[in-house]
Structure formats: C-alpha cells, structure tokens
A and B are shown apart, each in its own frame.
Chain A
Amino acid sequence: MSVRALRWLLVPLVVVPLAWLLVASLGRSVPRVGEPAPEFSLVSIDGQTVTSESLAGRPYLLNFWASWCIPACVDEHPVLIDAERRYGDRVAILGVLYRDSPEAARAFLDTYGDGGWLHLSDPGERLAGAWGVLGPPETFLVGADGRVAARRIGPLTAADLDAFLAPVAAVDR
C-alpha cells in the first residue's frame, strides 16, 4: 500500500525542480528597458562613495569599461568626453570598472584624457552581474524615474548618444 502511494512522489519530484528553475530564471532576468535599475553603493577610484539613492530623480549613464578593452573603449572615450561636455549638466555620467584595477584605469585616463566624471570600482563585478553586462564597453541609461531607458552593447557612437540623451535631457529641462 505504502509502496503504491510512493508513486505520487513522482509528481513533486518532477514538478518542483522545474518550478524552481522557472522561478529562479524569472528572478534572474536582468533589467530590461522600462524596468527599475539595480541599486548600488560603490566607491570611486578617487575614494568618493556614490549610491543609486544619491542619483535619484536624475538621469544617469552607466558606462562599464576597462583599461584593457582596446580598441573599443579607446574609440568610445572621446564620445563620452563630448557627452559630458554637452549633457553633463543634465545627465550624470558614471564609469564602472569591469575586471580592472583603479591604477590601470587611472593610467588609461592619463593617456586618453579624463573627462572629469567619476569611475567606480565594482569588486567582484557585482553591479555588472546585476545588469547582466556581457563585456566592456557596455552602457546603460537610467531615466529620472529610476527605470532603464536604454542599453548599448559595444562602443557608443556619437549618434547613439544623441539618440539616447537628447530625449532624456529634453524631458529633464
């Protein structure tokens, strides 16, 4: 009798792992455009602490990059410098180091120019993981409402930036 009842175990044995997998994969899915951006609290290579709360109400651009990411990050750098110059008053630009040391990042900035925005260390790539970063460079735009407004895998071009930032900057005005 009890042996016959045991066959009912088959149902949870199959269903529970699958349900776990489905739920876990749903929970894991990285933020997509329109969804809330992951929160963070990181220290910049100059020792300043930046948190997502401190940025609330303001659009910001998260640029994951690395000093070893050549040539893509090198190509992209002038575009970001230009963006900081044109939109910096309305949109916060933040660099996030991806598998890179603060020293190497400093050297990169000394070589290719420091646009003046902050670069955050991301130990263990926790923030990169939360965003589902595939590899540097990768850039996310977060709107004033704290939701993801755009994502760009690979180097940004001037045209991308205008397309990204013009509407956000305009709304913010």
Chain B
Amino acid sequence: MIPTLGHAAVVVGLAATLFAAAAFWLGARRNDPGLVLLGRRAMYAAFGLALVASAAMVVSLLTHDFSVRYVARNNATTTPPFYSFISLWAALEGSILFWTLLATGWAALVLHRYRERAPALMPWAGVTLALGAAFFFAVMAWPGDPFVRTEPVGAEGNGPNALLQNHPFMGLHPPLLYLGYSGLAVPFAFGMAALVTRRTDEAWLGMVRRWTLVPWTFLSAGIVAGAWWSYEVLGWGGYWAWDPVENAALLPWLTATAFIHSSMVAERRGTLRVWTHALVIATFVLTLVGTFLTRSGVVESVHSFTQSAIGPWFAGAIIVALAGSLALLVWRIPELGDTRPPGRPVSREAAFLFNNVLFLGVTFVVLFGTVYPMIREAASGERVSLGAPWFTQVNAPIFVALLFLMGVGPALPWGGASWRTVRDRFALPLLAGALLAVAGWLLGVRAAAPLVALAMAGFVVTVMGEEVVRGSLVRGRARGERPPVAAWRLATRNRRRYGGYLVHAGIAVMAVAVAVSGSLASDVTVTLRSGESVQLGAYTVTHQRVVSERLASDPRVLETRAELALAGPQSGALAPALRDYPNSPSPIATPAVRTAAGEDLYVTLLATDPASGEVTLHVFVNPLVAWIWIGGAVVVLGAAFAAWPERRRVPVPAPAAEPVPATATIAAARPEQ
C-alpha cells in the first residue's frame, strides 16, 4: 500500500500548493498576515508531502515492488540497495519527483527564513514558488505519474539503466544539478515579487544575489561532477561532449553568472534594474527549457530512457512563465529607472557589463547550437548536426575574451580609471601572463590554445593576487595586524568579493587544464596478447590475463576485465573492464584511470577474445585533467565562501559596506590621483 500512499501524497501535494498560492495571493491583496501564514504552512506541508512521496518511492525501490511500473522498469531483485536508492532520480518520473522534493524544500526554507525580514515581498514570492511547485505536482498527477501500477506483477524487473548503475558517482552528480536547477526558482520568485510590489531596491538585489549564488554553487558543482562522471564512467577519454544534456545545465549557469556580475553594478549604481530582472527571468526559463529539451524526448538521444507525454506540459509551462514574467517586467519598465550606462568606458562597471554581453553571447551560441538542427529540419527538411568541433570553434574567442575580462574587471576601479591607474594595475599581471606563455613555449608547448590559456590565467591570477596583497597590506598598516591575519579578516569582511576572486582563480586553473588536456592528449589503440605490452609516452602497459566473473554486488552483471601491469611515472596494476548488464544491448566500459597532478593514464577495454586471451585497449595519456576537478573544487569553495551568511549588522540584509577607516582609504587611493 506504500505506492498508494505515495500517489495520495502527490495528489494532496497538488492541492496544498494550489491552496498555498491562493492563500498567498489573497493574503497579499488584503494585507492579511493570517492568510500568508496559512499559505506558508501549506508550503511546509507540500514539502512534507513531497518527502512522503519520495520516501514511498525509495521504499518501493528498496523492497523491489514491481507492481509499480517505475520500479519494474528501473530496478531488479539483485540491484544493490545503494543503486536502488539512487534510482529515485535515474529515470524521468522519479527525477520529477526528486525535483519536486527539492523545489518544495527550497521554497519552505526561503519562506521560513524571510518570513519576518521581508513581509511585503514574501507573499508574492510565495505565490510564484507555490505555482511552480503545483506545476510539478500536476505533472506527477497526470502525465508523469511515478506511481503508475502494472498488472500482472512480474517476479523480476528490468533493472536500472546500465550506465547509471555503473558508478557510485550517480549518487552525487544529479542531486547537485537538481539542487541548482530547482533553487533557481527562488531568485525568480523574488524577482516576480519585487516587480509586483515595486520594491526593487538594493535590499532586494542583495537578497536575490545571495539566492542566486547558492543554487549557482550547486549548479557549478553539478556541472563539474557531471564532467567527472562522464570521464570516469563513459570511457571515451573525454569529459565534455557538448551533448544537449550538458548544454541544458550550462545555459542557466551562464545567465546566472551574468546576473551575479550585473547585480553588483546594479546594486552599486542603482541602475540596470530592467536588465537584472530580465536575467533572472531568463535563468529560470532556461532551467525549464533545458528540462524540456533533455527530458521530453525532443532532442534526439539514443540514451533517452523514457517515452513520455510531459513534453507539451513543459512547453506550456515555459510559455506561461515567460509570457507572464515578461509582461510583468514590461509593465513595470517605466518605474524601473534609467538605462544609462553606469560608468565610463574604462571602468569596472563597463568591464562587468561587457562580461554580461559575452556571457549572453555564449548562451546564445550554446542555445543556437542545441536547437539549430531542429530549426533547420523544420524549415528545409534537411538534417544537420552541430557537434563539439563547432561549439569549440565558435565559443573559443568568446571564452578567451571572458578570461581576459576576468582579470580586467577586478583590476579596474569603479566609476572609471585614469591611464595611470590602468598602467599601474595592468603592467605586472600582463608581464606575468606573457612570461607564463613564454615559459610554456620553452617547455615545449607548441599549440595555441594552451599558450593563450596560460597567458590569460597568469594575468588573472596575478590581478587577484595583487588585489589581495594590496588590500591586506593597507588593512594591516591601518589596524596594526600581521599580514595573514589582515588578509583573513579582509576576506571574511567582504566575502562576496574575495570569494569571487577565488572563483576566478579556480576558473583560470580549469581553463589551463581544459586547453592543455584538449590539445596535448595522446592516445593509442592496440590489441595485445598475454605478455605483450604497449608504450605510450613514458608509460608501458603490459597485458597479463583476462578474468571474467560475476559481480559480487550484483550477480546479474558479468564483468570481463583485463589485468594489466603499468610501469612508468606511475606503476601498479590496472583493470579496465567491460560489464555485461542483462538490460543493456552492449557492454558498458569501465575505464581504469590513474590520476596524478601532471597527467592521467586512462585505459579503456574495447574488446576481448576469450579464445586467444587477446585484449583490445584504448590507452590515453591526458595531461592536467586532475586540475579540472581541482579548479572546479576551488570554484565551488569560492562560491560557498561568498554565499556564506555574513554576520548581520542590521535586520534587513543590506549591501555590505566595507568598514575600512577613511584614513586608510585615502592613503590607499592616493596613487590614483
């Protein structure tokens, strides 16, 4: 009866969210705190109900209740408990349920946290959040019902998608992505509330930026984790294929990043309100578009594991959300202030806004590349595809410009810079960047991409370093603190800014790693008999024997692995494998990856010949790939540092003003005169 309970929770959840939306609406219109309280409690209840429904699904999966179609399709009696548990998000209906859980969770958290601090905004934010959650409950009540029963009940299920049960990383990467996706409804809700109530002041911006930064952090972590999963599991030696699923995660990330930057200008200058609102709307709509593209079967995908009728529902929701929010924005345009440029052409404002133009440029390119084949086919009936080479070539110049701006923005002062300032602040970083590129050349790097990336990274990191050192020295001198203490206090007093620097440093590291691993990797495909070896770079890989056995954790899976000996800068045993899952037409490759700071040795088993004991291997040497994950971790750390709540000095979250004494300010600013 547990599935029935789950289904009931979904239906009651739909009612609760609709009730909450109505209560918030009436409460706001009549200015009735009682109704608002009622709406808030209904949203807490909706979260509880989503929790009950998710728990019902997890229990059904863990107990292999094949009367539930989702369980029959995505579980088997031999599925280990861990993979049964994470099957909650392994297929369409379950992932919508999981999304609903997270979305209602965010909504409850935010409504609770700001219940007293923003009494005017919250009812309208509540309306938006409740309607969003109601949409997901409705999808589960009709086209995407996770609790549909099957008759007759089979004794065995189909088992989870083989690709998704091959690596424990599936337990981490989708939840991070979904936390990001679902969390981006929060800034959208704040945006709508601000437009309705005409409260688009700095306090609002601060709130929205914090609540964009939090899901942004999860989304970034999810994207990097997804690349890592692709690298560790799929066995093709790479980590990013410009696949529609990857692009779908990237699109809202790009616009959210643009928002984070423009909101700093907007907050400081009290302008650009229309633009920042438009970015908030675009970010939210793109999370829906991404889900639509990847989950409704519109984008052709061999790995799409579901056929479902949710496509029209999502299309409808996207159109309603976009038309409604855009109309609201257009209605309020006259009240949103001027659209004059907020700074001189050479100023931090201008650099941040140029960054916005470029981020939206990448967004356009990625969106265009994802949907253009569809448009072209609709228009002319011809089928084309745009793949990784197209995406890299079109995006590369924009990425280089963005990297450069990442250093330029923080080095320029707000308002505008004199030629002297520019010269003083750019000379050393430019020198560092150029020296790094020259050093790369002397070390034998002859490809353009890594040289450019090195130059840009050197420039960016030196700008950040200079900023931190100068700031710490000023603070240390003014307050008599030792430099490390001064640096830590400086950073924790202005988390946003120094967290941002850390994010930039992480991105610079990733850029170098991506450019180097993309253009300096080497690989070889060989067939080896037992005892034979292959040489690639400084490594020797020797084939010893082939072992075939059933997995102890899931006896339905037959693993054939090549036991190899590795000699070279790294040594030891390697065992790339092919796993035969009963529900997968072709075996799933499980690569063996040896990671080191300098380079990874990556071996995929392509085929085995049981008769002769021969194995066919694809061996890669991938330089600096580890630094993509390290850079990603730095980005996430920096973002978490920036999003960490600062001690509130006033009840209303206000833009953090830096409490540096005026004397120090003038002293430090003097060189600018």
Contacts and interface: CB of A to CB of B under 8 A. Distances in A.
A132 B296 CA distance: 16
A4 B334 contact: yes
B297 A10 contact: no
Given A14-B322, A35-B307, A129-B381, A26 B327 contact: no
A14 B585 CA distance: 43
B326 A15 contact: yes
B168 to A, nearest CB: 29
Q: Which A-B residue pairs are the 6 nearest by beta carbons?
A: A22-B315, A32-B307, A25-B298, A24-B378, A15-B323, A11-B326
Given A10-B330, A129-B383, A18 B322 contact: yes
A113 to B, nearest CB: 25
Contact of A29 (B298, B319, B323): B298
A14 B333 contact: no
A26 B375 CA distance: 12
Interface in A1-53: 4, 7-8, 10-11, 14-15, 18-19, 21-26, 28-30, 32-35
Interface string A100-112: 0000000000000
Interface string B275-297: 00000000000000100110011
B319 A28 contact: no
Given A11-B327, A30-B300, A18 B319 contact: yes
A70 interface: no
A23 B302 CA distance: 22
Contacts of A129: 381, 383
A160 interface: yes
A69 to B, nearest CB: 17
Contacts of A153: 302
A161 to B, nearest CB: 12
Contact of B326 (A14, A24, A25): A14
Contacts of B296: 26, 29
Nearest to A27: B378
B312 interface: yes
A8 B307 contact: no
A132 B327 CA distance: 38
A101 to B, nearest CB: 21
Contacts of B378: 24-25, 28
A24 B239 CA distance: 31
Interface in B301-336: 302, 307, 311-312, 315, 318-319, 322-323, 326-327, 330, 333-334
A11 to B, nearest CB: 5
Contacts of B297: 29, 32
Contacts of B377: 28
Given A26-B312, A33-B307, A7 B381 contact: no
Interface centre among A15, A19, A25 (most CB of B within 10 A): A25
Contacts of A24: 374-375, 378
Given A10-B326, A25-B374, A35-B307, 14 more contacts: A7-B333, A8-B330, A10-B330, A14-B322, A15-B322, A19-B315, A23-B315, A25-B298, A25-B371, A25-B378, A28-B374, A29-B296, A129-B381, A134-B302
A19 B375 contact: no
6 contacts: A4-B334, A15-B322, A21-B374, A35-B307, A134-B300, A134-B302
Contacts of B374: 21, 24-25, 28
B252 to A, nearest CB: 15
B645 to A, nearest CB: 35
Nearest to B314: A22
A29 B381 CA distance: 13
Nearest to B292: A22
Nearest to B326: A11
Contacts of A29: 296-298, 311
A7 B381 CA distance: 35
B622 to A, nearest CB: 28
Contact of A28 (B298, B334, B585): B298
A134 B304 CA distance: 14
A19 B307 contact: no
A10 B300 CA distance: 31
A32 B310 CA distance: 14
A10 B322 CA distance: 12
B327 A22 contact: no
Contacts of A11: 323, 326-327, 330
Interface in A56-83: none
Nearest to B375: A21
Contact of B371 (A8, A10, A21, A33): A21
A34 B330 contact: no
Contacts of A23: 315
Given A29-B311, A129-B381, A22 B318 contact: yes
Contacts of A35: 307
B539 to A, nearest CB: 33
Interface string A103-140: 00000000000000000000000000100101000000
A7 B375 CA distance: 27
Contacts of B315: 19, 22-23, 26
Contacts of A7: 330, 333
Contacts of A19: 315, 319
Interface string B386-398: 0000000000000
A11 B329 CA distance: 9
Nearest to A126: B381
A22 B319 contact: yes
Interface string B360-395: 000000000001001101100101000000000000
Nearest to B382: A129
B292 A132 contact: no
Contacts of B326: 10-11, 14-15
A21 B293 CA distance: 11
Contacts of B293: 25
Contacts of A132: 300
B144 to A, nearest CB: 15
A31 B377 CA distance: 16
Contacts of B319: 15, 18-19, 22
A160 B292 CA distance: 31
Interface in B149-180: none
Contacts of A160: 585
Contact of A18 (B307, B318, B334): B318
A134 B302 CA distance: 10
B521 to A, nearest CB: 28
A160 to B, nearest CB: 7
Contacts of B334: 4
A133 to B, nearest CB: 10
A132 B334 CA distance: 48
Given A10-B326, A21-B374, A129-B381, A26 B311 contact: yes
A172 to B, nearest CB: 20
A32 B302 CA distance: 11
B117 to A, nearest CB: 32
A8 B327 CA distance: 7
Contacts of B318: 18, 22
